[in-house]
């Protein structure tokens, strides 16, 4: 189940990524010789028009082979205008950038569909009160509904929690609904030290209330769903980029890096949970793939973009020798990271 789920997930992501390169190459007039899902030996292929479409044995990537793509490629005079390297810098940038961009678009589409389908959100029901806390001192009790905070109507727990976290040591007026009777109480959230998603110590406000189980399925109309899809994709992207920075800063432990085995495990778990969880995980990995490919590492799309930026500044292409050395270094780095991630996966299995 895990392997099948992972193959479906990676297959969709690879197809969308390579489709971005393919469509922009076609749009700018570049001759696409092959569109392949997977690497290694070709399992199945067919010719349609001028392009060969292939399914290859190793489902960990894919590629779009374009005519005249390599700097030292020999180009026929009658097809010179269809060679990748004969296109303008801006056109080549669009072709290279389209792959990661399509991964972000896929994430937006998935998140928008999830928001339209509807997601459960917990209501502001008090599920319990910590003894001796600010909430207990203010008289809050299990079953209370917090209907407003500082005069602002409040319905969902996450909105209220986010507001309270920034109010440590400051009095907050809560509107309470207790069995149909409404009243107000003033609570001063205590400032406590907690850990954020990266394990860093942060100061946050806490009232001392636990969330109840009441929730409501919220479905958004198409425009709002798309807007929230863009927002969610942006927030996850920022979180992932921050995570990469924290990894280099040694805030996030290196053994948290995962590889193919982790993807198989998480794909299996999400598929067993349901379609929404599976597609949500797909959106997450799609964003991850988009960000990874934009890193300025040779052999990745980000490395090609970096070379194009240098070419735009210096008005000359980076020499073939420099490209070859950079590509070898980039490949060595990627192999090291893949090996390390695989090692972490195996260690997790033993633990």
What is the predicted pLDDT for the residue at 345?
78
How buried is 257 (Cβ within 10 angstroms: 0-12 exposed, 13-18 middle, 19+ buried)? middle
Give pTM, 2 decimals.
0.86
Write out pLDDT tens, residues 173-194. Answer: 999 999 889 999 999 999 988 8
The confidence band for 279, taking pLDDT boundaries of 50, 70 and 90, is very high
Q: What's the chain's average pLDDT?
A: 89
User: What are the structure tokens assigned to 249, written together?
Assistant: 């800063």
Assess contact for 168 and 191: CB atoms under 8 A: yes
Return left, alpha or beta for 285; rule: phi > 0 is left, psi -120 to 50 is alpha, else beta: alpha
Question: Which residue ranges make up each domain of the chain?
Answer: 2-118+232-350, 120-218
Instruction: Please confirm, yes or no, whether 18 is among the known catalytic residues.
Output: yes
Task: Give the C-alpha separation, 278 to 283, whole Å.
Answer: 9
Give per-residue burial for 309-328: e unless 16+ CB within 10 Å, then b. Answer: eeeeeeeeebeeeebeebee
Share of the chain above pLDDT 90, in %: 56
120-218 CATH: 2.30.42.10
CA angle 178, 180, 183 (to 5 degrees): 55
18, 33, 52, 162: the catalytic one is 18
């Amino acid at each position: 189940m895990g392997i099948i789920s992972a193959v479906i997930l990676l297959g969709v992501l690879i197809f969308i990524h390579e489709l971005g390169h393919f469509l922009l190459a076609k749009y700018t007039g570049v001759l696409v010789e092959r569109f392949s899902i997977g690497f290694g030996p070709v399992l199945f292929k067919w010719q349609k028009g001028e392009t060969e479409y292939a399914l290859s044995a190793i489902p960990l990537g894919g590629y779009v082979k374009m005519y005249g793509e390599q700097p030292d490629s020999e180009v026929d005079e009658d097809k010179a205008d269809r060679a990748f390297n004969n296109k303008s810098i801006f056109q080549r940038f669009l072709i290279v950038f389209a792959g990661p961009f399509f991964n972000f678009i896929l994430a937006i589409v998935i998140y928008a569909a999830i928001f339209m389908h509807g997601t459960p959100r917990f209501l502001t029901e008090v599920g319990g009160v910590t003894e001796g806390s600010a909430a207990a001192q203010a008289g809050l009790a299990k079953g209370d509904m917090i209907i407003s905070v500082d005069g602002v109507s409040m319905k969902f727990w996450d909105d209220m929690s986010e507001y309270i976290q920034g109010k440590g040591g400051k009095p907050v007026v809560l509107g309470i609904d207790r069995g149909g009777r409404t009243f107000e109480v003033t609570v001063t959230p205590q400032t406590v030290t907690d850990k954020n998603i990266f394990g860093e110590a942060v100061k946050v406000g806490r009232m001392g209330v636990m969330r109840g189980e009441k929730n409501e399925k919220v479905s958004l109309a198409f425009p709002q769903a798309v807007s929230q899809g863009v927002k969610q994709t942006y927030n996850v992207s920022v979180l992932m980029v921050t995570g990469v920075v924290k990894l280099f800063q040694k805030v996030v432990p290196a053994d948290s890096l995962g590889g193919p085995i982790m993807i198989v495990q998480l794909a299996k778990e999400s598929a067993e949970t349901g379609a929404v969880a599976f597609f949500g995980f797909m959106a997450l990995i799609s964003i991850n793939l988009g960000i990874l490919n934009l890193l300025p590492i040779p052999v990745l799309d980000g490395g090609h973009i970096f070379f194009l930026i240098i070419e735009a500044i210096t008005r000359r292409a980076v020499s073939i020798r420099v490209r070859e050395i950079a590509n070898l270094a980039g490949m060595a780095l990627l192999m090291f990271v893949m090996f390390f991630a695989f090692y972490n996966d195996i260690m997790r299995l033993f633990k």
